[in-house]
């Protein structure tokens, strides 16, 4: 255990943890996006789910996944805990590496020449903060219903998405946040 701790405390260790957790989070974003695309399938025309919205059926499948080995929603909670640990580790390493970077150059330069730095790399730190705020709002808005639209229905993703995005400010915020997420992922995949 001492070797793992020693590695984690090193700069290289933190960068490795950021890479692994970033890869896990990228995988989640991709799967989440693929699941959310079911929104555009509308209602099923036949079969056991006739008349139900595809994204609502997908949401219920996520809660049933792992049964009968796990209780209803058990696998989903395991995934949530893994994601939370990955986010916390990613944030911790980012914070420590940022502090180390600032400490390495204690003087604030009056003129900052950006040499071979992409827009994504220059905005990655603030982009991460914006993404965190977006995720918290997204959970409060469409999962928990705390900031959700009037008429929020628990466990009804289709109805909540349609209601939630009728406000152009909220829809615009989602667009901007997803653009920031795209820049963040671009930086992570290419660095």
Question: What pLDDT, in 10s, does the model give residues 92-111?
Answer: 999 999 899 888 876 665 55
According to DSSP, residue 44 is labeled: B
In a shared domain, residues 44 and 104:
yes
For residue 113, being part of any structural domain is answered with: no
pTM of the model: 0.87
How much is the average pLDDT of 113-132?
Answer: 82
Residue 51 CB contacts under 8 Å (≥ 6 apart), including other chains: 43, 44
For residue 166, being part of any structural domain is answered with: yes
Identify the domain boundary among 108, 126, 146: 108
Three-state secondary structure call for residue 191:
coil
In a shared domain, residues 55 and 34:
yes
According to DSSP, residue 142 is labeled: I
Inter-residue contact 84 to 139 (CB < 8 Å)? no
Is the pLDDT higher at 147 or at 122? 147
**Mean pLDDT over each residue of the chain, to the nearest integer:** 91
According to DSSP, residue 108 is labeled: P
Report the half-sphere exposure of 76 (CA within 13 A, side-chain side): 13
Inter-residue contact 134 to 177 (CB < 8 Å)? yes
In a shared domain, residues 146 and 186:
yes
Query: What is the structure's pLDDT at 184?
Result: 94
Query: What is the structure's pLDDT at 123?
Result: 81
- Is 80 exceeded by the pLDDT of residue 134? yes
Share of the chain above pLDDT 70, in %: 94
Peptide bond between residue 176 and the one before it cis (omega within 30 degrees of 0) = no
In a shared domain, residues 88 and 144:
no
Identify the domain boundary among 67, 90, 108: 108
Give the model confidence (pLDDT) of 62-77 as tens digits: 999 999 999 999 999 9
Is the pLDDT higher at 158 or at 2? 158
In a shared domain, residues 133 and 103:
no
Identify the domain boundary among 108, 133, 156: 108
Q: Crossing angle of helices 74-104/11-36, nearest 10°? A: 140
In a shared domain, residues 56 and 150:
no
Residue 97 CB contacts under 8 Å (≥ 6 apart), including other chains: 11, 14, 15, 18
Query: What is the structure's pLDDT at 108?
Result: 64
Angle at 31 between CA 124 and CA 148, to 5 degrees: 80
In a shared domain, residues 14 and 104:
yes
Query: What is the structure's pLDDT at 131?
Result: 96
Domains: count for the chain: 2
Write out the E strands in 23-66: none
In a shared domain, residues 82 and 158:
no
Query: What is the structure's pLDDT at 116?
Result: 73
Give the Cβ contact number of residue 91 at 10 Å: 15
Query: What is the structure's pLDDT at 115?
Result: 64
In a shared domain, residues 88 and 136:
no
Range of the domain at 129: 118-191
For residue 18, being part of any structural domain is answered with: yes
Query: What is the structure's pLDDT at 114?
Result: 59
Give me the residue label for tokens 């229905």.
153
């Amino acid at each position: 255990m001492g070797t793992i701790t020693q590695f984690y405390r090193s700069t290289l260790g933190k960068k490795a943890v950021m890479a692994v957790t970033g890869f896990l989070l990228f995988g989640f974003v991709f799967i989440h996006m693929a699941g959310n695309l079911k929104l555009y399938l509308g209602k099923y025309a036949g079969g056991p789910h006739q008349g139900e919205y595809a994204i609502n059926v997908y949401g219920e499948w996520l809660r049933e996944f792992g049964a009968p080995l796990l209780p209803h929603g058990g696998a989903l909670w395991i995934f949530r805990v893994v994601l939370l640990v990955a986010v916390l580790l990613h944030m911790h390493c980012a914070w420590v590496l940022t502090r180390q970077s600032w400490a390495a150059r204690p003087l604030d330069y009056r003129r900052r020449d950006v040499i071979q730095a992409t827009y994504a790399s220059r905005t990655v730190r603030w982009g991460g903060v914006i993404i965190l705020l977006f995720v918290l709002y997204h959970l409060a808005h469409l999962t928990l219903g705390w900031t959700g639209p009037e008429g929020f229905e628990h466990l009804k993703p289709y109805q909540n998405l349609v209601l939630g995005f009728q406000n152009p400010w909220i829809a615009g915020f989602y667009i901007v946040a997803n653009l920031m997420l795209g820049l963040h992922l671009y930086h992570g995949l290419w660095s």
